[in-house]
Structure 1
């Protein structure tokens, strides 16, 4: 009898471990097809700050980006029988400053508001001693990183600098910001001539011809900007691209990309297995708590495609770039185990809550989280950018690193938030799992000089861990609700305007909603504030609310009131 009991005991333990090692969530499927080739594919869509897109046809051909174009690094790889395939993002470290812009540090230049007599001001030998000295950035009020006021039509700027070595054998980029017409010369040779335009943190790789002029010792960059109308801005610097070491060199083969109203589906061929990757943003307008909750899902599903069993591990990785405006901002890290989940948390040391305004800005306050279920088959750890990938390629796992060993400076040494899942032997029966990506912005909007929290916080009654728990506990039902809504919306749109109209509606649905932030004012009135793209950082503008209001009138008229309550 005792032997039978002992046998049953060990059998129970084995079954429990087996259940922990192979996830048992219901696979996500959809018969809906969107044939539209999107200009950008929505991946994470919560609000104007917490959002990420793929700008490429194939998910593995370009870094994942914020809508401003800045990298929001998100990398995924799958290891099949010891062979690794990258299916998400690219390995792309931040550029290292050779000559910092004002984003990194204030730099001094010589400038004049009077047109020089001839082109001699472009040369290294020009005597600019009678020009005014000032720190960058140069510009009109409310421009980013402003240090020296410029309120005339034209400005001419010279920046002389010393290089410790030649740059000819390096990959060098010019980073520049301007508003409006902008010309820039390096050691007398023209590099940039924009015409009438305005850009922030634009990048231009220097040709071999230009790099050949950048010699050890003294050099000069000279720029002229003409402000036709509105704001004016000048800033520039040089940056080096580190030679990629590339751990995940072999991409998977993307078979399909399918954008539905609340989900984006990808399917990949990874050697002898097939992988689905599903990004879910449950933006269901009949549930404002869910709509506002700052948590999205990344689901992975794997099955054998050749009738054989295969040993499979999953790797997902993010960086603190999700929580900074600029990569030079120092960051903190914290690893938290709570409620059966591991949370990897990161944010800036400074925490400048709602201090910046204007265009081309990302959130640099609050905290970004990547969360994974805490089981014997999963791991969530911080690590070095290259070493974490190398370890996964070799072992299918990642190793733990104490947070005090991590670099706060991303431009010098990038640290990553990594998650791994060992799916064990995978047959033609799908095995799946998911991670949660979330952001606690602490305060969302400064409204009539008062900082207001997001709607989901319910006046301080809900914290970020409760929001994550609600997201995890409701996973199955939320996936079902999203699937039903996808079908209903596309059917209604098809009936109203045909297949192509339905496909367009599916593509813009998440973008239209996540362009807003949902909160309440001090009297409890709903506020649903839109954010303009590159238009002085304006929010809640009528010219955006008017064309977007039909969507909200259909699905929840209370949101239309939220568009208007602040007017």
Structure 2
């Protein structure tokens, strides 16, 4: 089945949890561009064709005064979201404009991936057979470098060996790494607008009213506004660039600008401030910008190649719906992280638990995200796990099970979830997650050296699951929004597979306990099959009535890790039950409510061997994205009847949607 794709929000700039700009509208000019937290991050795009100006991005006015009229807009004719690019096409006055927003999050090139750079490329051509005089205006406002618009900003120009024209803005205060929390934006460092220095480029730093000046005259002020500190909300300053295409004919012409962010320092890691990964060799920000320009063509080619490759693979695996889901999920999942390295040079890949609680390096956020990173760079899975191992191995961690997180973004100084009270922990959940993740990364790398480095902790956690995992006590799992639950059958599945995962690692490392742990997992799986059986499906809890049920999403790792602890008929029965209970926008998470989790739904669908059955389960998800009234970056928690977001947005967990592309492995 195919369906026109209308993302609830379109990724424009997707670098990290702070530098992130989206369009939450059907047309790029219908509303201001926004940060993923829904706060306005205004950027504007205008085009002048033969002296007539039109709008193609954002809004000209920042005031809420409804008497302010916006200029006429171009006609938006198409939108195509691919893994690394979002491409809008417009037409007006004999000209076709393509506006391409690309962040090169190439998982096989971590230097490029970690650069805080996003490209805006503008391609124009005549479509009426006549030449046209064309200029394009684009700007970035001070809203991109403040947490709230009451904060004062200053601005300046930067030089880069004469090759690049660069402008920057930042707060006066510069509270580097001082702010923590969830619904927050960066208020330190500097946002940049840069472009190759050519004769066709004109730039200015001025009030946002410069947009109207361009509309009316096609020009920018000859001099920058003097940089006196003022609130970002006060006659909001913008950095503006005009790209002069001169005479445009039928042959497409292209120019670009760069949006970039110098965050100075990125993460606080157990009291030590860490730089972004790209800085580890001593590269300056200006040198990095020069590289971003020099490698522009190469990066665009690599990005286009990857877009095509993923589209072909996802189409083969799951059809058009799956292609669209993965295209929208790719940048979101990666950009919900920050890449740094520790004092040993080891990669650390920190997630932010967006619109949930702001935790950093959350285990049960990493777990659902790993399919994407297992596919393209297993080192990043290790980078998610290293902070947890370090914290769990310290005197600060008092429990004999795995921690939930290591702090609140961007400070990774120790767990904050649930105020560290025992009743707010997730003992079975996090032990199972860490063991499954360790086994997955080692199996997909065909090397268990990473597990050997952390063997004492992994052994402790496997023992915990063996003693406590068969019939979990009243505790939280990753679906903590549903509350505590005793005798959780899906959580028991995780414990059983976690023990099986440990047995695989034992086998890879030649440890003598491999048979004992696998046999324990086999016995537990047999017991599970009997206790959870409700006749045609399997219950929500061991002690609940046969009418209850839940998505047993953890079962997918039984197949991917080649454990085969649970018989095929269980999976077949469960899948039939999920399809039978499907609502308009998908199958609910369990029998208690009508909401679902996007990632878990795709994991369950991936258990379906026939492609047609997989498509049957995921098509309602695309239907949801097309019709949801919640115009936010892809949410993973929504109602299957109304299509409304419950909470969560822009989270890394959508990396889990790539699970259908993973191939089972074995030792």
Deviation at 1:400, TM superposition (A): 3.1
Q: Distance in 2 between matches of 1:506 and 1:349?
A: 38
Please list the CA deviations of residues 457-508 of structure 1 after superposition, one character each: whole Å capped at 9, or x if unmatched: 115x111111111111011111110111111111111111122111111110
Q: Does 1:52 align with 2:21?
A: yes
> Do the aligned residues in 2 keep the contact of 1:407 with 1:415 (CA within 8 Å)?
no
Secondary structure (helix, strand or coil) at the match of 2:41 reads coil
Matching residue of 1:419: 241
CA contact (8 A) 2:150 2:233 kept: yes
2:379 matches 1:410 = no
- Aligned 1:472-491 pairs, distance under 5 A: 472-491=293-312
Query: Following superposition of structure 1 onto structure 2, how do residues 278-317 of structure 1 map, counting pairs within 5 Å?
Result: 278-317=100-139
Say if 2:207 is the partner of 1:384: yes
Structure 1 residue 552 corresponds to structure 2 residue 373: yes
Query: How big is each residue's C-alpha offset from its partner over 1:188-241, in whole Å with a ceiling of 9 and x where there is no partner?
Result: xxxxxxxxxxxxxxxxxxxxxxxxxxxxxxxxxxxxxxxxxxxxxxxxxxxxx4
Q: Of the candidates 432, 435, 443, which is equivalent to residue 257 of structure 2?
A: 435
Quick one: which of 325, 332, 335 aligns to 2:147?
Answer: 325
Query: Residues of 2 paired with 1:483 and 1:525: CA distance?
Result: 30
TM-score normalized by the length of structure 2: 0.56
Quote how far apart the aligned CAs of 1:56 are.
Answer: 0.4
Change in Cα spacing, 1:34 to 1:281, as seen in structure 2 (3 Å) is: farther
The 3-state SS of whatever aligns with 1:443 is coil
1:353 and 1:51, CA in 2 relative to 1: closer, same or farther beyond 3 A? same
Give the 3 Å change call, closer, same or farther, for CA 34–299 of structure 1 in structure 2: farther
Secondary structure of 2:38 counterpart: coil
Matches within 5 A, 1:212-251: 241-242=64-65, 245-246=68-69, 248-251=70-73
Work out the CA distance in 2 between the residues paired with 1:37 and 1:427.
Answer: 31
CA distance, structure 2, for counterparts of residue 318 and residue 349 of structure 1:
18
How many pairs were matched up?
386
Q: Shift of the alpha carbon at 1:413?
A: 1.8
Q: Check whether the contact 2:196–2:293 (CA below 8 A) recurs between aligned residues.
A: no
1:286–1:465 CA distance, 2 compared to 1 (3 A): same
Structure 1 residues 136-191: Cα deviation after superposition (integer angstroms, max 9, x where no partner):
xxxxxxxxxxxxxxxxxxxxxxxxxxxxxxxxxxxxxxxxxxxxxxxxxxxxxxxx
**1:78 partnered with 2:47:** yes
Identify which of structures 1 and 2 has the higher relative contact order when contacts are C-alpha pairs closer than 8 Å and 6+ apart: 1
CA contact (8 A) 1:531 1:537 kept: yes
Q: 369, 383, 393: which one pairs with 2:192?
A: 369
Distance 1:92 1:61 in 2: 12
Q: Deviations over 1:2-33 (max 9, x none)?
A: xxxxxxxxxxxxxxxxxxxxxxxxxxxxxxx9
Quick check: 1:343 aligned with 2:166? yes
1:375 Cα deviation (Å)? 2.0
Mapped pair 1:499 → 2:468: no
- Larger % of helix: which? 2
- Say what the alpha-carbon RMSD is for the aligned residues: 1.6
Judged with a 3 Å threshold, the aligned counterparts in structure 2 of structure 1 residues 325 and 34 are, in CA distance, closer, same or farther, namely: farther
Question: Any conservation in 1 of the 2:204–2:222 contact (CA below 8 Å)?
Answer: yes
CA distance in 2, matches of 1:458, 1:470: 15
Kept in 2: contact 1:517–1:528 (CA 8 A): yes
Structure 1: give runs of 5+ residues left out of the alignment.
1-32, 95-240
Cα distance in 2 for partners of 1:525, 1:503 equals 34
CA distance in 2, matches of 1:496, 1:451: 42
Residues 506 and 405 of structure 1, relative CA distance in 2, 3 Å threshold: closer
Paired with 2:357 and 2:98, the residues of 1 have a C-alpha distance of 40
Equivalent in the alignment of 1:64: 33
What's the CA shift for 1:410?
2.5
In the alignment, the residues of structure 2 paired with residue 389 and residue 513 of structure 1 have an alpha-carbon distance, to the nearest angstrom, of: 33
Per the alignment, residue 383 of structure 2 pairs with: 562
Contact 1:280–1:296, Cα closer than 8 Å, also in 2: yes
Superposed displacement of residue 331, structure 1: 0.3
Q: Displacement of 1:321 after TM fit?
A: 0.7
Q: Is the 8 A contact 2:336 2:354 kept in 1?
A: no
Contact 1:64 1:89 (C-alpha < 8 Å) held by counterparts: yes
- Cα displacement (A) at 1:242: 4.5
Q: State the 1:34 CA deviation.
A: 9.2
Q: 2:34 aligns to what SS in structure 1?
A: coil
Do structure 1's residue 528 and structure 2's residue 528 form an aligned pair? no
Query: Secondary structure of 2:105's partner?
Result: coil
Does the 8 A contact of 2:53 with 2:216 survive in 1? no
TM-score of the aligned structures, taking structure 1 as reference length: 0.66
